[in-house]
Amino acid sequence: MNFLKNINLNKLKDGLSKTKQKIFNNISEVISGKAVLDETTLEEIEEILISSDVGFDTTTRIIDQAREALASDQDRSKFNIMSTIQMEMSSLLTSNSSDGGMNVDIISKFKPYVILIVGVNGAGKTTTIGKLAHNFKKFGLKVVIGSADTFRAAANEQLEVWASRAGVDIVQREHGTDPSSVAFDTLNVAKTKNADVVLIDTAGRLHTKNNLMLELQKINKVLSKVLDYAPNEVFLVVDGNTGQNAIIQAREFSKFSDITGLIITKLDGTAKGGIIFQISSELKIPVRFIGVGEQIDDLQTFEPEYFIKALFQ
C-alpha cells in the first residue's frame, strides 16, 4: 500500500523529551545500580507510569504482562527489565493503532476525500488543519480548507494565515454564518476545483454544550447530502497537556460523531505524552497524528515503532 507519511525521528525525540524524562529516565533511575530487580522495583515502575498519565488500568496491564514475562526468565538485569517494559508498551500501541499514515490508494478513490476536524477550544485545531494541509500538499495533493468555525470572530483570520502558509485554497464566510452552509459551499468549491482533499474546520465546541454538538451533527448531514460518502474521516484534536481530560473529550465527541482518528497536539510542551498509551488501550480509536512542535512540518504521522524509539533510545 502507498501511504503519505511525515516522520522525522530526531524531531520526534526532541518533541517528546519531557515525556521521555518522565518515563524512561525515571525508570532508568529506579533500576540503576540494582543487581537483581524484585517485586518492589516493579511497583516503583508502576507508580512512575501512573504518574505519567499512562492510566491505572493501562499501567496495570503493562506491569502484569512484564511480571509474567519476567517470571519465566531468570534474567532480571537492568537491561532485560527495561527491554521487557518497552516491549509491553510497544505491543499495547501496536495492537490498537492504524496502518500508519494516510492511504493514497483510498484517497484517490474519492474526489474529494473529506475530513472533518472537531475538538474543544484551545486544542490546536486551526494550526493542525494548516499542518495537515501542508502534509497533503507536500505529496502533490490539491487541498481546499473550509472555515466552518463561524462562532469565533478571529477563526477566519487565523485559518486564512495557515492556509496561506500551506499554499492551499480556503472557503470562508462572514462571522455568524450558518456553519453548515460553509461546509456545503466548501464541498461544491472543491468539486469545481477538482480537489483531492477537503479539510473542514468546526467551532471549538465544549463537549458539555449539547447545542454545539447538535450543530456538529447538522454539518455531518449536510456533507452527506452533497457527497453521499462524506465525511470520509472525522479527526478529533486533543491537547496533550490535558491528560485525562482527553479521554473524557473523546468519549463525549464519539456520542455525536463517528470519530475515525485522534490528533494529539502540543506534546513538545508536556510530560503527559503517556496519555497516548491510555487512549490506545481504552478508547480503541487510532491516534493518526501527533504535534511535536510549532513549525508547519511538525505534525507527524503517529507510528508506534518510532514513538517507542523516541522514548526509549
pLDDT above 70: residue 200: yes
pLDDT above 60: residue 207: no
What pTM did the predictor assign?
0.91
Contact (Cβ atoms closer than 8 angstroms) between residue 170 and residue 129? no
Highest-confidence segment of 101-115, 153-167, 221-235, 242-256: 221-235
pLDDT of 42 reads 86
Of the two residues 85 and 71, the one the predictor is more confident about is 85
pLDDT of 101 reads 65
pLDDT of 68 reads 82
pLDDT of 100 reads 58
Average pLDDT, the chain: 88
pLDDT above 90: residue 154: no
Return the minimum-mean-pLDDT range out of 76-85, 253-262, 282-291.
76-85
pLDDT bracket for residue 35 (50, 70, 90): low
Of the two residues 32 and 46, the one the predictor is more confident about is 46
pLDDT above 90: residue 93: no
